[in-house]
Each structure stands twice: as C-alpha cells, then as structure tokens.
Amino acid sequence: MNVSACKQLQRLDVDTVCRLIAATQLASGEIPWSTGDKTDPWDHVEAAMGLVVGGYIEQARLAFDWSRAMQLADGSWFAAYRNGIPENRTRETNMSAYIAVGVFHYWLITGDRTFLESMWDTVRRAIDFAVNHQSANGEICWAISPQGKVDPMALLTGSSSIYMSLKCAMAIAAVLGMATRPWADAFKRLGDAICNRPYLFNMTKSRFSMDWFYPVLCGAVTGEAAGQRFERQWKKYVVEGLGVRCVSDQPWVTIAESSELVLALAAMGDTEKAHIVFNWLSDHVFDDGSFWCGFTFPDMTLWPEEKITWTNAAVLLAADALFNLTPASRLFDHRWWAEAGYPG
C-alpha cells in the first residue's frame, strides 16, 4: 500500500462508522436509515454488510435474522417499515433480491456455512420473486403496488442491482450444491437487456447517477465498454474534488453515490481513479467520524443533517474494495468473478 493510500485509510475510523450503524439498529435487528427513521429492505442489507466489514458479526447476524423473519410469503418484503410495522406496502423486486448480495458477502467474510444454509430458503424465495417478474425481453418489472398490481416499468438501476443479486444467489447455490438453471437463463437475458437494449428501461431516470454507474458496478458492463461508459458521461455526474451528484441537474453531491462510484471504478480495475474519488470523501464527516449523507455546492451546506446508516456502510464497502480489509473485498471485482469459478 503506498503512502497516499495509507493516509486515506488512516482518516477512516472503521469502528466509529460501525458503532453508528449498531447504535441505530433496533433490538429486533432492524436497521433504519437513521434514528427514528424508516427502514427499507435494500438499505437494511447494505447497513448489515457494513457491520460485517467492521467485524460487528453478531449485529449483522441479527439484521439478517430480521430479514428472514419479515419476508412475505411470495419471497418479497414491503418497501418500508417503521419499528417492524409496514409503512409502504409496495413490493419492489430489486429491494427484495438484494438479500442474496448481503448473504454471500457475509459468507465470504465469515465462512459460516451454517448461516448460509439457514438463509438459503430466504434467498431462494427472494430471487424467485424477482425472476417471476422478468419480461420476455429480459428486463425486470420494478414493483407490485399495495393493491397487488404489477407495474411493468423497468428501472436500469434496479435491474442492475438484481443482476448482481442473481450472481450472488447462484454463487450461494454453487457452494450449497443447489441447482439454478432457471436463474442462469434469467441472468443471461437480464444482462443482454442491460448491455444492449437501454430502451427497455425508464429513460427519465437517466438523470440519476446510479443509472450511469450501476451497470458497471454490477458487472453487466465490463472491459472497454465500461471504460467508454464512464468516459462519456463523467463530467455530467462527477464534480471534481467533491464527489458524485445524485441527479445530474442538481447541485447535490452524496457520499453514498460517490462511494458506489469508487466500488464501480475498483470493480473495473481503475483503482487509481477510485482512490482519487475516495480521497474526496474524507473531509465530509461529523465530529464523531461518521460520514455525512450529502451536501450542496458551491455553498457546501450539509443536507440532510441525519447520520445515515447505509451511507456509512457504502463508505466501508468502498474502503474494503480499495484496502482489502476483508475476504469480501473483491465482491464487485469483475476479474474476481471471472477467476473464482462461480456461475456468472
């Protein structure tokens, strides 16, 4: 590790960040966005992954226990809870499928096969829920309304997240010796849709930076195509010296999107640029060392003021990808997936 990288790592207090997440977690295992705020199933899993990076294994295990207990009969979760009570009864496909990423991440770090076996049925049903809403063209419908109506709209970010979830679910199945042929077919068709048929997705969301980098982060777009994708729109989303805009036409930089861009850059092998972006984040912390959610520019106003669990978890995942803090540091690495022998 070079001197610059060492200095970056020294400025990150992993234990402080994990203590924030653990202190926000409820006794049930539920991890809200912030104290007194809502919980959504995707960000809950992301927060649990941050805990595992920092060695807070017991708290992370409790979070996964909560997910297993709250799963609905069709394999999904509601879009939002507050103290265990459903607040938004929409059921989103990408939010539900992400449990597979969290479970595989936990396995890579702990090697706990008993845990993996205990979560298999939860993962299987969650992935089946998402795959059951895939169209003939390969994209996946984003949600089912509280009234039970399928919304046929597909989101590029959401489908990219499901692509990563499918990779992890098939890897879990490989470890456990389970068959996944229907998932493999769904994975192939989804990847083709993401790479070759952008018109299948809601183009109004292209203002959001996640639509730009998630196809690379998930490993659907790789190699030269990934580099070209980033080069074409870098200036649209990235504010040099600050980070990544959440939305291209708004002066708001977010730490989570910036951290996920770091992950995507590292995944495609551009670690030099990943370190540069990560270095921009180090000043945007509270007095306790936890990270802001975001800020406006050029006035540099902190907004919102809450300490967000999943934002801080995203920073930890980015740090892991850059500094190899855990055995899961290469979870998003395109080359690792090609070399590891897992499906996908």
The secondary structure of 75-142 as a DSSP string is: S---SEEETTEEEE--EEHHHHHTHHHHHHHHHHHH--HHHHHHHHHHHHHHHHHHHTTB-TTS-BEE
CA 285-287-290 angle, 5° bins: 45
Give the pLDDT mean for 270-285: 96
User: What pTM value is reported for the model?
Assistant: 0.96
CA 96-98-104 angle, 5° bins: 135
pLDDT single digits (tens) 222-260: 999 999 999 999 999 999 999 999 999 999 999 999 999
CATH class of the 3-340 domain in this structure: mainly alpha
pLDDT single digits (tens) 106-122: 999 999 999 999 999 99
pLDDT single digits (tens) 16-58: 999 999 999 999 999 999 999 999 999 999 999 999 999 999 9
pLDDT above 90 for 286 = yes
Q: How far apart are CA 330 and CA 322, in angstroms?
A: 9
List own/partner pairs for 112-118 with CB under 8 A and 24 or more apart.
Answer: 113/175, 115/61, 115/64, 116/172, 116/175, 116/176, 117/176, 118/68
pLDDT above 60 for 6 = no
Give the pLDDT mean for 169-183: 94
Query: Which residues 6+ apart lie within 8 Å of 236 measured at CB?
Result: 212, 248
